[in-house]
Amino acid sequence: MGDNPMLKFVGTSQDYPLKRGANERAHDFAEISKTFLLEKAEEQASRCSQCGVPYCSTHCPLHNHIPDWLRLTAEGRLREAYELSNATSTMPEICGRICPQDRLCEGNCVIEFSGHGSVTIGSVEKFITDTAWKEGWVEPLVSGKARGQSVGIIGAGPAGLTTAEYLRVAGYDVHVYDRHDRAGGLLTYGIPGFKLEKDVVMRRVQRLKDGGIVFHESFEVGKDATMEQLRHKHDAILIATGVYKARDIKAPGVGASGVVAALDYLNASNRAGFGDAVPGHEDGSLLAKDKHVVVIGGGDTAMDCVRTAIRQGAKSVKCLYRRDRDNMPGSQREVQNAEEEGVEFVWLSAPVAFEGGTQVSGVKAVKMRLGQPDASGRRAPEPEPGSEFTLEADLVIKALGYDPEELPKLFGADDLSVTRWGTLRVDHKTMMTSVDGVFAAGDIVRGASLVVWAIRDGRDVTEHMHNRKSVV
């Protein structure tokens, strides 16, 4: 036992990389946590119990070989650890930063159940791949033997990028079409820099470009080319657009100036971080500086919004959520980070109207109580009669989640079948849509979900596309 580099969890306590102080980090968009030092990464990796049934791996959508690369890290074999981590994930350093580990691998760690605190898997994963980039271990993308066939991928988010990488390695000509001027999808324009610095995303994209994948940025399918034209150009198509249609609130005054969608707000902030000219910042409509801000919602997008508003210099930032803390969908770590930075949470409260006429001046809300479980099993919120109150607000951000856009209409492809939720209908054995040779993956199939699930879908659909007879 004394010579065993693992099983140190009894004598070594759980530890995470140091976070910058709240007062310091609340004034910039740099990542809030410092990276592990080598010795600390090895120490935390050594806490892994090497259990025979690794729940961390089974609860990871990618089924990463977590105990194995933790052991390699503890033994100082970092390059091997990186290679094993990279074998199942196209962007492990990104997952290490933004995955909700408390709900996935770390939340299901065996020693977490025993009361010792989980292994800090995400931080070690981030450290391994950041080290690989620094040391030059991340190898260029090299195409396999040319097949003389091409694939068109619509959407440059994690599902599309993952598929593009694997198909290029398999020897296909790969073209990626995206309506934004930079690839990455929500990794680029949705997630703030304090969670995911943009150079981390851009170096991944650049590696794909250097590997011969052709990116058509600022390209809108339905305007710049029809779906039918792309089908004639390529041997197969993947739709991986994600879901971008913001869910709205049905309440009086919702159309007032100052009531904005979360993605519009985050997009503007991220563009400013790139140095782009942002009209919404120039006229103040998408800027929180010197404003009383109310964010409506309880997911990770809401957490991104409240923490962005703090960094933009808001007078006050409140998060209005209709359930309690224990029943919110967002990461508890993100809630803690937000509270440290000065965000006030108004639990069990829901908006009923927006006051102020043409320019919002406040959110009229009502207190809620949790009643009987709904169809999903969660206790449904019910309004408390006579409990109305008003929150002062110059800027209200709606962060209620996303629904699919009407792709058949946008793409001019009426033969694309959708579900009653608006997601693309696929044959789950092949991941092919109702249109022959057109596949779909990621959020546009499963609805708004996690980056790690998009990567998993990208990995799975690659196999199906590769095995299709007309694309072999």
Encode pLDDT of 315-362 as tens digits: 999 999 999 998 888 888 899 999 999 999 999 999 999 999 999 999
> How far apart (Å, rounded) are the C-alpha atoms in residues 456 and 105?
15
Is 364 within 8 Å of 351 (Cβ atoms)?
yes
CA distance to 152, 411, 414, 416, per residue, from 229 (Å)? 11, 11, 14, 15
Q: pLDDT tens across 254-270, in order?
A: 999 999 999 999 999 99
- What domains can be seen in the chain, in order of their start residue? 22-135 (1.10.1060.10), 150-243+404-471 (3.50.50.60), 246-398 (3.50.50.60)
Q: Among 450, 431, 461, 458, which Cα is nearest to 60's?
A: 450
pLDDT band at 469 (very low <50, low <70, confident <90, very high): low
Task: Give the model's pLDDT for residue 272.
Answer: 97
The C-alpha angle with vertex 256 and arms to 251 and 261, in degrees rounded to 5, equals 80
Q: Is the pLDDT score of 2 beyond 60?
A: no
- Other beta carbons within 10 Å of 457: 25
Report CA 468 to chain centroid distance, whole Å: 30
3 burial (CB, 10 Å; 0-12 / 13-18 / 19+) is exposed
Is 114 within 8 Å of 78 (Cβ atoms)?
no
- Retrieve residue 454's tokens: 């998009």
Q: Is the pLDDT score of 406 beyond 90?
A: yes
pLDDT band at 203 (very low <50, low <70, confident <90, very high): very high
φ, ψ (nearest 5 deg) of residue 263: -70, -35
Is 173 within 8 Å of 149 (Cβ atoms)?
yes
Q: Is 123 helix (H, G, I), strand (E, B) or coil?
A: helix
Q: Is 40 helix (H, G, I), strand (E, B) or coil?
A: helix
> How far apart (Å, rounded) are the C-alpha atoms in residues 321 and 345?
8
125 burial (CB, 10 Å; 0-12 / 13-18 / 19+) is buried
Q: Is 98 helix (H, G, I), strand (E, B) or coil?
A: helix
Task: Give the model's pLDDT for residue 1.
Answer: 45
- Retrieve residue 141's tokens: 């993308």
Is 187 within 8 Å of 195 (Cβ atoms)?
no
Q: pLDDT tens across 112-135, in order?
A: 988 899 999 999 999 999 999 999
Query: Which residues have CB under 8 Å from 259's CB, separation 6+?
Result: 253, 354, 360, 396, 398
Q: Is the pLDDT score of 70 beyond 70?
A: yes
> How far apart (Å, rounded) are the C-alpha atoms in residues 61 and 371?
32
Task: Give the model's pLDDT for residue 374.
Answer: 79
Could you please report the per-residue DSSP string of 155-167?
Answer: --SHHHHHHHHHH
Q: Is the pLDDT score of 471 beyond 70?
A: no
pLDDT band at 66 (very low <50, low <70, confident <90, very high): very high
Rg (CA), the chain: 23
- Please give the span between the terminal C-alpha atoms of the chain, in angstroms, as a whole number: 52
Task: Give the model's pLDDT for residue 3.
Answer: 67
Task: Give the model's pLDDT for residue 470.
Answer: 47
Q: Is 400 helix (H, G, I), strand (E, B) or coil?
A: coil
Residue with tokens 């957490």: 303
Strands 316-320, 344-346: pairing kind: parallel
Q: pLDDT tens across 292-321, in order?
A: 999 999 999 999 999 999 999 999 999 999
Q: pLDDT tens across 355-405, in order?
A: 999 999 999 999 999 988 877 788 889 999 999 999 999 999 999 999 999
Q: Is 30 helix (H, G, I), strand (E, B) or coil?
A: coil
> How far apart (Å, rounded) are the C-alpha atoms in residues 341 and 32?
11
Helix residue ranges, H only, 114-185: 121-135, 158-169
> How far apart (Å, rounded) are the C-alpha atoms in residues 162 and 234?
18
Q: pLDDT tens across 209-224, in order?
A: 999 999 999 999 999 9
> How far apart (Å, rounded) are the C-alpha atoms in residues 88 and 109?
19
Q: Among 322, 296, 324, which Cα is nearest to 309's?
A: 296
> What mean pLDDT do residues 69-83 have?
96
Region label for 148, one of left (φ > 0), alpha (ψ between -120 and 50) or beta (otherwise): left
Arithmetic mean of pLDDT over the chain: 94
CA distance to 9, 71, 123, 243, 404, per residue, from 296 (Å)? 40, 43, 30, 19, 20
Helix residue ranges, H only, 367-450: 407-411, 443-446
